Structure 1
C-alpha cells in the first residue's frame, strides 16, 4: 500500500513528533514565497510550540507550523532562518524532500 506523496505520516511512523503535515496545494511548489517583506520573527527550536495531532496545510501559520518547521530543521531540511511560522513554498519543498528521503 502506497502513501500519497502529499502526506507526512505521524511520529510513530516517521519521526515528525505527534503531528501530521498535509500539503493541500501542489501549486505551492511552483511559486508562492514563504515570507512577506515585513520583518521576520525569529524562533528557537529548543522548545515545543505544539504537541497535538492536528493537520498542518500549505498557507497555515502559527504554532503548528513552527513545530513542523523545527522538526524539519532538526533533521536538516530547513535552516534556522527558515523557521518563520509560515507554511509557504520553502516549508513545502522541505516537506517534499523529507518525504522523498523517507519514501512516503
Structure 2
C-alpha cells in the first residue's frame, strides 16, 4: 500500500546526503479517483526494493478497483477480520497498520461487528 500512498502524496528520498523529491501523481480529481477507486490513464510509483530508494514511474496505466488504495485497504481489513474471527495473532505489520488508522475509524467496532 505504500506505493499507492507515495503515488498519491509524493515522497522524499534521502540517500548519501542527496535529497530526491517525487511529486504527487494525483494532481487532479480524475487522478485522485483513479488512485482511490481505480481508473484509467494513471501514473504510479513502483518500489525497486523493500527500502524503495529508487522508485520508478509507470505512466498511462489502468488501476483496477482491487489494486486501488481503497481496494487494497478493504482487502487488508477483510484479512484482519478473518484473523480476528479465528483468534489468530496479528503480526507487527498488521498492528502498525491498525495503529496508523488512529481514532478516526473505529476499526475494532468494524472488525467485531461485521
Same fold (TM over 0.5): no
* Higher RCO, Cα 8 Å, sep 6+: 1
Name the structure where strand makes up a greater proportion of residues: 2
State the TM-score bracket (shorter-chain normalisation): under 0.3
TM-score, with structure 2 as normaliser? 0.25
TM-score, with structure 1 as normaliser? 0.26
